[in-house]
Amino acid sequence: MSSATRWEKAADAYATGEHKSGRELQLVVDFAAPMGGERVLDIGTGAGHTALALAPHASSVVLTDPVPAMLATARRVLGEVGVRNAEFVEAVAERLPFQDASFDIVATRLAAHHFDDVALAFREVARVLRPGGVFIFVDTLAPEDSESAAYQDEVERLRDPTHRHIYTQREWIAFAEAAGLRIAKLEVVRKAHDFEPWLERGGEDAATQERVRARFLDAPASAVRDLEIVVADGGVKSFTDRKLVLAARR
């Protein structure tokens, strides 16, 4: 299945699933602290939940995503609740079609582990932010233990081949700093995932889903510990990962 077709299938699942909520989404608004007049850019917007959280507190929000079906879903989600200050632009994070210093706030939530080139994407963020503007970054953290980190990438990619790589806290921060951004705030939050809906959102066929289940039942002890894998009655019930929330100033 092509990557675009996969995302088209995923668009509805993102609109209604666990991406709608979470402590890390509240922190996006808290860390951005918009006063009402800001121009906001959301990168890898998916079904638009991050842009939706920021839109009432900003002058305008531009939602970007490379997948037209995601932008269509985001347009519907924001339209349903009457958001009028939003614009929708097809773009990859690595090549943002905006002028230098054109935004006060740039956000990206749970998308960077899909980027082909995180370093280039972060340089683009720094370019389109005005001096003093703020970058709000949210994504999954790799455990420090190399065995469980490798396991996490393996099962995430098996479940969804558009997954690229999950970095450690030190590595995500290094990408931001290398792009010339200064870390201003940081928080790590735990996020629990009901296993079967998480697996279903990946959109793979039944045989691949079965391989993911088997791999969870066979997880190394380090991953059971770091990802808090819960098994009951012979089936995987849930796992819990960690999300890094950063505010970084240009």
Ligand X SMILES: C[S@@+](CC[C@H](N)C(=O)[O-])C[C@H]1O[C@@H](n2cnc3c(N)ncnc32)[C@H](O)[C@@H]1O
63 near ligand X, rule: CB under 6 A: no
Q: Pattern 4-33, binding to ligand X, x per CB under 6 A?
A: ---x------x----x--------------
* 70 counts as binding ligand X under rule CB under 6 A: yes
- Is residue 116 within the footprint of ligand X (CB under 6 A)? yes
Least distance between ligand X and beta carbon 246 (Å)? 15
Distance CA 67, CA 160 (A): 16
Query: Taking the CA atoms of the chain, what radius of gyration do you get in angstroms?
Result: 18
Part of the chain binding ligand X (CB under 6 A), chosen from 78-86, 114-122, 211-219, 241-249: 114-122
Q: How far is the CB of 220 from ligand X (least distance, A)?
A: 26
Answer for which of 58, 62, 83, 110 binds ligand X (CB under 6 A) is 110
Nearer to ligand X, 5 or 146 (CB): 5
Three-class DSSP labels, the chain: CCHHHHHHHHHHHHHHCHHHCCHHHHHHHHHHCCCCCCEEEEECCCCCHHHHHHHHHCCEEEEEECCHHHHHHHHHHHHHCCCCCEEEEECECCECCCCCCCEEEEEEECCHHHCCCHHHHHHHHHHHEEEEEEEEEEEECCCCCHHHHHHHHHHHHHHCCCCCCCCCHHHHHHHHHHCCCEEEEEEEEEEEEEHHHHHHHCCCCHHHHHHHHHHHHCCCHHHHHHCCCEEECCEEEEEEEEEEEEEEEC
Q: Contacting ligand X (CB under 6 A), which of 39, 88, 109, 250?
A: 109
Which region, judged by CB under 6 A, interacts with ligand X, from 60-68, 145-153, 169-177, 232-240? 60-68
Nearer to ligand X, 94 or 145 (CB): 94
Q: Which of 115, 122, 137, 198 binds ligand X (CB under 6 A)?
A: 115
Distance from the Cα of residue 205 to its chain's centroid: 23
Q: Contacts with ligand X: how many residues (CB under 6 A)?
A: 23
Question: By CB under 6 A, is residue 44 in contact with ligand X?
Answer: yes
Which residues contact ligand X by CB under 6 A?
A: 7, 14, 19, 43-47, 49-50, 65-67, 70, 92-94, 109-111, 114-116
